[in-house]
Copies of this chain bind each other. A is one copy, B any other.
Amino acid sequence: MANADSAAAPRRERADARRNRQRILEATIELVLEVGGEPPRDTVARRAGVGIATVYRHFPDQQQLLRAVALEVLDRTIAAGCATLDESGPGGEALRLYLHAAIDAGLGVVNIVHPLVEDTDWLDRRAAAEEVLDRLVAGARADGAVGPGTSAADIALAAIRFCRPLAIGLDPEAERAVAHRQLDIYLDGLAAGAG
């Protein structure tokens, strides 16, 4: 595939750029999850090991960087959801597994992205995520784990809430444990309301 024609140079540049882009994304996700909020851009650059201007080349403003981060994380969440569907089928338990996986996938960073309404990529991704979620919710509904008064959107909002850091000084492990536990209670509540 990579034949040595004379125009190969631009191709190789792309690989560099691609790698840089990915590094910047990873660095941002790490910083958002570690420190919370919107990390200074030169901090992102330093963590990613690139120059500040490279960050700007790839993501002309903070919005676009955060948007890319959100897309990335949502992709991971969707992948986790699909895996769950493949493995356990759409039963009531599958929804639970999926939501726990979403928390672990870093869904928590998603709520930094207010103004993503109107963004096509984002809406597409959301639609995909919702489709997965819909199928899981449908299965759960069939199992009696979710009642008729509860929509998939309600559940998505709940997942987002449980991803948020409590910000009371818990260490990351305790934070995660609490989130998972509260999510379980919430799902119990849904099931109770359904019965």
Contacts and interface: CB of A to CB of B under 8 A. Distances in A.
Given A37-B37, A192-B189, A192-B192, A182 B169 contact: no
Contacts of A168: 110-111, 113-114, 157, 160
Interface string A169-192: 100000000100110111111111
Contacts of A158: 182, 185
A83 interface: no
Q: How large is the interface on A (under 10, 10 to 19, 20 to 34, 35 or more residues)?
A: 20 to 34
Q: Give how many copies assemble into the complex.
A: 4
Contacts of A185: 150, 158, 186, 189-190, 193
Interface string A21-57: 0000000000000000100000000000000000000
A115 interface: yes
Nearest to A111: B167
**Which of the listed residues A157, A191, A195 has the most CB atoms from chain B within 10 Å of its own CB?**
A157
Contact of A186 (B37, B114, B186): B186
Nearest to A150: B185
Contact of A161 (B110, B166, B193): B166
A156 B120 CA distance: 39
A99 to B, nearest CB: 13
Contacts of A187: 189
Contacts of A9: none
Contacts of A188: 188-190, 192-193
Contacts of A161: 161-162, 164, 166, 182
A194 to B, nearest CB: 10
Contacts of A112: 167
Interface of A: 37, 110-115, 117, 150, 154, 157-158, 160-162, 164, 166-169, 178, 181-182, 184-193, 195
